[in-house]
């Protein structure tokens, strides 16, 4: 689906990530295979299937998988018939169950949502004790939740100022450092952020290349679009791509920081 903008109301541009990641794993040797993130409520993905698929992918990739979970958002809950309260509870339960399925021969779990009795779930992951766990998050509460669970946190700068990003990371770090009972076998105290950058010779060229479409995804205030990229936020009055009056300053060589984990990792390569 590369090369075109999503249509209004389009449901997904990554419908089968496990298949895509399996294909990537077969053409690479060292780069980590990050699944960010599996929709955790059971109507999306039963925790047993999450554990099985991730463990299988860990073997196919030679032990390179990192698994993220998230509770998703209202439009997807509505489509799959999930109540908001159920989404939060089942996400917590998935975080509790998946690592135990990976490390227990006969797994049992009882709750209002699940009743599992002495089930042997396989395969076990290649990594020991299990792949690192992450949580996709977008609010201060969810950043703290990730820290309390002892899992890494994944965010995006699309709607956030750097000041707010810094505050959420502090909340996460404090919770992760205080975590003594992680959901997995270890605390994965790491932060990863995804950011958006587009470089072009002029603003007009950037707009023609797709910045206008990206701008429609962020908040609009007083008839102006906030276009966010890296460390800066620029405000343009709403206008169609290539319209007269747009600034023509050159920014071809301006370097912006890319998203990265705060913990050093081996340099990715194929």
CATH number of the domain encompassing residue 118: 3.20.20.30
Domain that holds residue 176: 17-194
**Segment among 87-101, 143-157, 248-262 with least mean pLDDT:** 248-262
More confident residue, 12 or 162: 162
What is the C-alpha R_g of the chain? Answer: 21
Reported as a pLDDT band with limits 50, 70 and 90, residue 204 is confident
Count of structural domains within the chain = 2
Cross-strand partners of 65: 33
In a shared domain, residues 169 and 210: no
| Helix/strand/coil (H/E/C) assignment for every residue in the chain | CCCCCCCCCCCCCCCCHHHHHHHHHHCCCCCCEEEEEEECCCCCCCHHHHHHHHHHHHHHCCCCEEEEEECCCHHHHHHHCCCHHHHHHHHHHHHHHHHHHHHCCCEEEECCCCEEEEECCCCCCCCCCCCCEEEECCCHHHHHHHHHHCCEEEEECCCCCHHHHHHHHHHHHHHHHHCCCCCCCCCCCCEEEECCCCCCCCHHHHHHHHHHHHHCCCCEECCEEEEEECCEEEEEECCCCCCCCCCCCCCCCCCCCCCCECCCCCCCCC
In a shared domain, residues 135 and 239: no
Token pair for residue 67? 């698994």
Q: State the pLDDT at residue 227.
A: 35
Tell me if 269 is assigned to some domain: no
Tell me if 130 is assigned to some domain: yes
In a shared domain, residues 29 and 105: yes
More confident residue, 129 or 15: 129
Q: Is the pLDDT of residue 237 over 80?
A: no
User: Among 140, 163, 194, where does a domain finish?
Assistant: 194
How does pLDDT run across 243-268, given as a tens digit for each residue?
333 333 333 333 333 333 444 444 44
In a shared domain, residues 105 and 232: no
Q: What is the mean pLDDT of residues 127-147?
A: 96
Q: State the pLDDT at residue 33.
A: 95
In a shared domain, residues 103 and 235: no
In a shared domain, residues 184 and 78: yes
Q: Is the pLDDT of residue 181 over 60?
A: yes
Q: What is the mean pLDDT of residues 28-51?
A: 94
In a shared domain, residues 25 and 97: yes
pTM above 0.75, yes or no: no
In a shared domain, residues 171 and 240: no
Q: Is the pLDDT of residue 172 over 90?
A: yes
Give, in degrees to the nearest 5, the angle at Cα 36 between 31 and 42. 135
Tell me if 129 is assigned to some domain: yes
Nearest by Cα to 173 from 165, 162, 184: 165
User: Among 194, 216, 243, where does a domain finish?
Assistant: 194
Q: What is the mean pLDDT of residues 41-45?
A: 93
Percent of the chain with pLDDT over 90: 57
């Amino acid at each position: 689906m590369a090369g075109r903008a999503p249509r209004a109301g389009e449901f997904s541009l990554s419908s089968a990530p496990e298949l895509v990641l399996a294909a990537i794993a077969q053409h690479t040797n060292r780069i980590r295979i990050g699944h960010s993130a599996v929709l955790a409520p059971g109507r999306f993905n039963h925790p047993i299937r999450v554990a099985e698929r991730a463990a299988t992918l860990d073997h196919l990739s030679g032990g390179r998988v990192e698994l993220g979970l998230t509770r998703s958002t209202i439009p997807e809950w509505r489509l799959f018939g999930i109540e908001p309260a159920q989404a939060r509870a089942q996400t917590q339960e998935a975080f509790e169950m998946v690592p135990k399925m990976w490390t227990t021969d006969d797994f049992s779990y009882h709750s209002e949502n699940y009743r599992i009795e002495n089930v042997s779930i396989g395969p076990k992951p290649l990594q020991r004790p299990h792949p690192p766990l992450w949580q996709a998050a977008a609010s201060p509460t969810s950043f703290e939740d990730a820290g309390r669970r002892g899992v890494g946190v994944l965010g995006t700068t699309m709607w956030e100022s750097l000041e707010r990003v810094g505050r959420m990371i502090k909340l996460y770090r404090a919770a992760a450092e205080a975590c003594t009972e992680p959901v997995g076998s270890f605390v994965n105290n790491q932060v990863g952020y995804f950011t958006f950058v587009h470089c072009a010779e002029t603003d007009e060229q950037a707009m023609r290349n797709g910045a206008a479409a990206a701008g429609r995804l962020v908040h609009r205030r007083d008839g102006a679009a906030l276009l966010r990229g890296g460390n800066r936020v620029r405000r343009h009055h709403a206008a169609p791509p290539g319209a007269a009056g747009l600034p023509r300053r050159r920014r071809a060589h301006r370097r912006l920081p890319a998203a990265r984990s705060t913990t050093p990792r081996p340099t990715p390569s194929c």
